[in-house]
Amino acid sequence: MRFEVWAPFARDQVILRLDSDNGDDSDQGGGGNGGVPMAPDPDRPGWWCAEAPARDGTRYGFAVDGGPPRPDPRSRRLPEGPDGPSAVFLPDGHTWRHDPPRHGLRGAVLYELHIGTFTPEGTLDAAAGHLGELTELGVTHVELLPLCPFPGVHGWGYDGVAPWAVHEPYGGPAALKRFVDTAHGHGLGVVLDVVHNHLGPSGNQLPAFGPYLTEAHRTPWGPAVNLDGPGSDEVRDYLLGSALMWLREYRIDGLRLDAVHALADDRALTFLEELSAAVDRLGAELGRPLFLIAESDRNDPRTTTPRTAGGLGLHAQWNDDFHHGLHTLLTGEDQGYYADFAADPRAALARSLTRVWFHDGTYSSFRGRAHGRPVDPATTPVHRFVGFAQSHDQIGNRAAGDRLSALLSPGLLACAAALVLTGPFTPMLFMGEEWGAGTPWQYFTDHTDPETARRVREGRRAEFAAHGWPADEVPDPQDPETRNRSVLDRAERTREPHARLLAWYRELIALRRAQPDLTDPDPATVDVSYDSTTGSTNGSDGTDDSGGTGRYAVRRGELRILYNLGREAPARFPVGTGARVLASWEPSPGPDAAGDLVLGPESCAVVLGRV
């Protein structure tokens, strides 16, 4: 078997160490007896290679210049975690039973899922056993939070250090193939969250081999990943190869790229352009749609503008402005970045619904400067933006990890669902959102290094203390109970009001699939109207019918989605006698003789027909 490693920092030698004490009784080519000297590759500067007998599961590592054996930077499997040896994983060991579905992004409904808390077991196999529930819900893609190895057992996954491997406590690479195959059998696509912008604070072995990091740029995590300095050709190839591996060998359907705004890259051809071009080529080769979704806080439409039009060519990006406007409107929170949206949250949400971003060159008081630039729908249709009411970031980065279900009534949760699922953007749900899960989703870690654990714990408490949170109210990330509290409780699904909310999500997703207006990518088909007065004037029957603050309406072609966000009075909407109610949170008999539809407080309805 051929072993190879890029190790330009090696001055004299690289030794392949093979572990013969792993149940393999074959000749290990010197394992445990000094190892196998590797030779420089004459055709690839900085690369070392060797041939040695090995089979699936054989442990191995590389020792540079007499140092300790370290895991392969391109290891496919790390059975003992990032600090242990690599293990050979043969990519052809799985017999695929199902072909990937051919869902593109237009018309998609994404479902963000964290393997470690989706089930009590916290494994890929356990999660696969519940994929039928997601088919019944109606989503099209499961979006997995990062799976790359990190220290310990439980964590969010954003501290990964080995981007070619799968976290062993989740089941390792074989379990991921089983999960993807099962998902495809249910008709679900699979999106994988990958992190290219930094490496975790512990377990990172890459600096011993080569210039994977650079001091030329600094990030919140320290030295930046080297995308533009000496040696960056190989670093970029390392990340590109990892991304394409997930799509080709694991049949993943798309990748979500974490915080692309943190990629420091001054080269003329950026890493993101190179990646998007490579993914497009692979999709054409495989004959199935593949896509990249960026997380970016720049509000820059060039991220998703096609490369032929001067953009980076990614296929979609998260729309935080939509989330912030929706959250501020429904909760009234105004701290941090919500302050920009709090002056008039109704107008802020309307601007996002019709223009994609609230900040498209406008002044941001949170940043103290202008932010963003306008979207041109001719080059960037609105389905290239992902809209959501909740995400792992927006829940988990709250001090207590509280979901919207801890802040809003079931009626307002139903309104949030309608704003997302009938909105112009590609919708995304966070696991458990569909039944208003009562469990929090908190920030948890399992660092094995005591000093790293201490820094994370104290840093988390200091961060929220600056915002007025007492230290004893901020969950300890290292406490196992913090993770345990975050595990979904599926028994809630059959109890009220959770069961009713779950039925509402199913109804809205089915409606989105059945009504072409709801997936029309032209923002010109979106119109928003709302009450602009600060007071409420009620009619003789007690309804809010002349400018009360609760009424909010969104038009999508021939559909109108009507909201009474008020807490007390019913609201009257003129819809016309011919209008038809397609879905309603509160039971509604339809328009009255005058052509008005009356909605109770904190409720919504989808109506077909225009006045």
- Nearest-CA neighbor of 253 among 125, 391, 140? 140
**253 marked ligand binding residue:** no
**397 marked ligand binding residue:** yes
Question: Cα separation of 18 and 35, whole Å?
Answer: 7
Question: Cα separation of 543 and 566, whole Å?
Answer: 11
The full length of the chain comes to 611
Residue 3, helix vs strand vs coil: strand
Residue 502, helix vs strand vs coil: helix
β-sheet bridge partners, residue 560:
555, 607
Question: Cα separation of 326 and 341, whole Å?
Answer: 9
Question: Cα separation of 15 and 36, whole Å?
Answer: 6
**228 marked ligand binding residue:** no
Dihedral of the CA atoms 146, 242, 164, 100 (nearest 10)? 70
Which residue stretches of 345-449 are H helix? 345-355, 392-396, 410-421
List CB contacts of 285: < 8 A, sequence separation 6 or more. Answer: none
**205 marked ligand binding residue:** no
Instruction: State the DSSP string of 561-606.
Output: EEEE--SSS-EEEE--TT-EEEEESS------TTSEEEE-SSEEEE
269 CB neighbour count, 10 Å cutoff: 10
**21 marked ligand binding residue:** no
Question: Distances from the Cα of 429 to the Cαs of 9, 386, 418, in angstroms?
Answer: 45, 10, 12
- Nearest-CA neighbor of 226 among 235, 47, 194? 235
Question: Cα separation of 322 and 328, whole Å?
Answer: 10
Question: Cα separation of 545 and 550, whole Å?
Answer: 10
Beta carbons of 329 and 315 less than 8 angstroms apart = no
Residue 465, helix vs strand vs coil: helix
**261 marked ligand binding residue:** yes
**323 marked ligand binding residue:** yes
Beta carbons of 255 and 243 less than 8 angstroms apart = yes
**348 marked ligand binding residue:** no
DSSP assignment, residue 301?
Answer: G
**442 marked ligand binding residue:** no
**181 marked ligand binding residue:** no
**Catalytic residues, which ones?**
258, 295
**256 marked ligand binding residue:** yes
Question: Cα separation of 582 and 559, whole Å?
Answer: 9
Question: Cα separation of 597 and 581, whole Å?
Answer: 9
**217 marked ligand binding residue:** no
Question: Cα separation of 163 and 149, whole Å?
Answer: 8
AA letter at 233: D
Instruction: State the DSSP string of 52-102.
Output: ----TT-EEEEEETT---B--TT-S--TT-TTS-EE---TT-----SPPP-
**137 marked ligand binding residue:** no
**385 marked ligand binding residue:** no
**395 marked ligand binding residue:** yes
User: Tokens standing for 529?
Assistant: 């109207």
List CB contacts of 291: < 8 A, sequence separation 6 or more. Answer: 104, 105, 253, 254, 255, 279, 315, 316
**Phi, psi values for residue 7, rounded to 5°:** -140, 65
Question: Distances from the Cα of 331 to the Cαs of 273, 326, 413, 421, in angstroms?
Answer: 38, 8, 11, 19
Which residues fall in the annotated binding site?
Answer: 256-261, 320-324, 392-397
Which residues fall in the annotated binding site for substrate?
Answer: 256-261, 320-324, 392-397
